[in-house]
Amino acid sequence: MGGDEESPVSAECPKGGGPVHVRLTQKNMLKLRVMRFFSKYAPMLILALVAATDLGTSARAQAPSVDQRTEVVLREMETLIYPGVQPTNGKRVFVRMFDTHSSIHAHWAAYRIARSVPSLQAIALASEDALRYDKLRYEIANWVTYTYAQAWFLRLATEYEKWANESGRPEPLRMRPVADEVAQALLDAFSNTKINPLTSNYNSTAWAFTQLHQYLGYVGNLSDLSTLDGWIQQYFLVDIAGTSFKNDLDPSLSFFSTFGNWHHLVSETQPLAVAQGFWQIQDPIMDKHLAVNGIGTAHSYGMGWSRLWCLRSMASTTPSGADRRRFLRSANAHLALGMQRHYQLKGDFMNYDHWVGQFAVYAVTADSGF
């Protein structure tokens, strides 16, 4: 994609592509022994003491914790993502993961991983070093110009700022000015086009609205948030027609669940009472449509993780206990298949490594309070 592109294999990372490790000094060992006494009450702080930097000890706020199963997934995906967030030469920064949007969500995943597993701070520090303001400006002027990339950019900006604030970093607002411009570009685009709730993949309106909503809410832009809420009410708080979970099981090039991301949008943006009322106007979801998709195409690898985060969102809002159990069983099956595929496919950069790990990170942390 031009002279400023860099080959993903040229990423400057430690041998093996894994996290940076440091030896525990006697001082840190003493800290660790003291803190073990309080481990019952502050497990996250103990993890921070053995992080690859001193960030954990200076954190001003604490990110949500994750369970052991989630941490296993995050540590696995970190090994794929770490090389993709290294600093770059030239004008561009979003180049190491083959395409612009995959590179953006790799940087987003770096901060989500670091916030979830404090001992993996090295990946966030590498990304922070890479995301220079001049390069961000160049990206949004020339490359971050389509809906999918813009939506992920807003998620990245929020994640970076949260990590920077929690870690006491010197420039927590570094991305805010450019992210504000990206948010405005999305608002302008949807103001001047016919909104279609059934678009999917790179043109997914539901996905763009989910990420735009979280950004506007985070920065406190209540005026534009009100406009967006009006669009969601008009186009999405209605009976879902024209798609279902069945569509995800058909052989196709889709990597997103159109039906699932519609539910994910409602779950992420609406009060619980509204989200539960939304269920009352939907058709029942058949058990056979909750099955995992065993089709072995490149985009199906992302589809499985997409369905996982949607199923977890649906389980959190359905008023039916029986449906909640069905959705969580299906989510667990999707997680198992996703990890099975991961161990089979990791090492295949073009079809897997450059993007699927980021979907996995989103899927296992989307409903964890981040």
Give 150-213 as a DSSP string.
HHHHHHHHHHHHHHHHHHT-S-TTTTHHHHHHHHHHHHHHHHTS---TT--GGG-HHHHHHHHH
119 belongs to a structural domain: no
316 within some domain:
yes
- Contact present, 154 and 183 (Cβ < 8 Å): yes
Token pair for 41: 């009450």
Contacts of 353 (CB under 8 A, 6+ apart): 80, 346, 347
pLDDT category of residue 64 using cuts at 50, 70 and 90? confident
Q: pLDDT band for position 148 (50/70/90)? A: very high
Residue 173 lies in a domain: no
Residue 31 within any structural domain of the chain: no
The closest alpha carbon to 304, from 264, 272, 336, belongs to 336
> Phi/psi at 217 (nearest 5 deg)?
-65, -40
Q: Is 21 part of a structural domain of the chain?
A: no
Q: What is the number of structural domains in the chain?
A: 1
pTM for the model: 0.83
**Structural domain span for residue 261:** 222-370
Question: How many DSSP H helices and E strands does the chain contain?
Answer: 15, 0
Residue 32 lies in a domain: no
Convert the pLDDT of each residue in 250-303 to its tens digit: 767 789 999 999 999 999 999 999 999 999 999 999 999 999 987 778 888 999
pLDDT of residue 304: 94
CA 296 to chain centroid, in Å, comes to 23
